[in-house]
Each structure stands twice: as structure tokens, then as C-alpha cells.
């Protein structure tokens, strides 16, 4: 019996349906996902008091160290609170974040973000809007 190689599914095969409908869902951002930040692009506080900080890499089980997509206004963070009903990876705009293949999103990001690695953690709301409208628009309506 031969072992099958563990291959990770591509962004297009697993998230096409989600990305096509995640753009402007018109739902209120959950209170815990709202971020309070005053003039500091590298740290913030969630609505329920969790301090989060910008990191270049986040360890993700099954992937190892994954680079966070470098954005200027918001950043991806790991919600370590362990509270039920939360996403493990969030963007400070209030959107969930996810691991996406750099090869799949290469055409959606700026050339200055070259060589990010095989996978990146990115704001799903921003990426879905970039794919649909050409503008990287976060859940709080800010653009990059």
C-alpha cells in the first residue's frame, strides 16, 4: 500500500462559494470583533478587552509559520481567548482571516508584496472585495 501525499486544497477549490458571497454581507460586526485603537498601527484592543498585536508570522497547526499579509491600516491577529463561537484568526477590521495560497492571490495584491511564501494569512473580507470590485475594502469600509 502506498502513502498518499497530503495536499492542501487550493483557494479556488474550497473558498470560491464563500468568497463570492462574503463581500458585503450587510451584517453587523460582532461586538468582540470590534477594535479600539488610537494612533497605533501595531496594536489594538478588542471590544471585550483582549490586547492584540501585529505580527509578521503566526504559527498555524498543519502549516507552520505563516506570513501575515502586510497591510497598512489593519492587521491579522490570532484570537487566543479560546471563547466559543470565535474565529481563530481575525483582522482588526472585524472580518475573519484565513490562510490563502499566495499563488492564488498574486494578481490581487500589489507588487511590493512579492515573495510572501507559499501561504499567507489575510483578511477575507478585503480579499473578496478586491476580487469582486478591484478595491481592497475592509469590513469597517476602510480601503488599502
Any idea where the domains of the chain sit in the sequence?
Answer: 35-115+124-129
Regarding pTM above 0.85, the answer is no
Q: Measuring CA to CA, how many Å separate 13 from each of 17, 52, 79, 100, 103?
A: 9, 31, 26, 11, 13
Q: State which residues of the chain have pLDDT below 50.
A: 1-4, 9-27, 29
Amino acid at each position: 500500500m502506498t502513502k498518499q501525499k497530503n495536499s492542501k486544497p487550493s483557494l479556488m477549490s474550497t473558498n470560491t462559494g464563500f468568497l463570492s458571497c462574503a463581500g458585503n454581507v450587510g451584517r453587523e460586526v460582532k461586538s468582540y470583533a470590534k477594535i479600539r485603537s488610537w494612533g497605533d498601527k501595531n496594536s489594538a484592543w478588542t471590544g471585550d478587552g483582549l490586547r492584540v498585536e501585529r505580527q509578521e508570522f503566526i504559527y498555524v497547526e498543519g502549516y507552520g509559520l505563516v506570513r501575515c499579509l502586510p497591510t497598512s491600516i489593519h492587521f491579522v491577529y490570532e484570537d487566543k481567548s479560546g471563547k466559543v463561537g470565535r474565529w481563530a484568526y481575525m483582522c482588526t477590521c472585524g472580518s475573519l482571516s484565513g490562510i490563502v495560497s499566495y499563488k492564488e492571490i498574486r494578481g490581487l495584491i500589489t507588487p511590493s508584496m512579492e515573495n510572501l511564501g507559499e501561504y499567507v494569512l489575510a483578511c477575507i473580507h478585503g480579499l473578496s472585495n478586491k476580487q469582486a470590485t478591484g478595491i481592497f475594502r475592509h469590513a469597517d469600509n476602510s480601503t488599502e
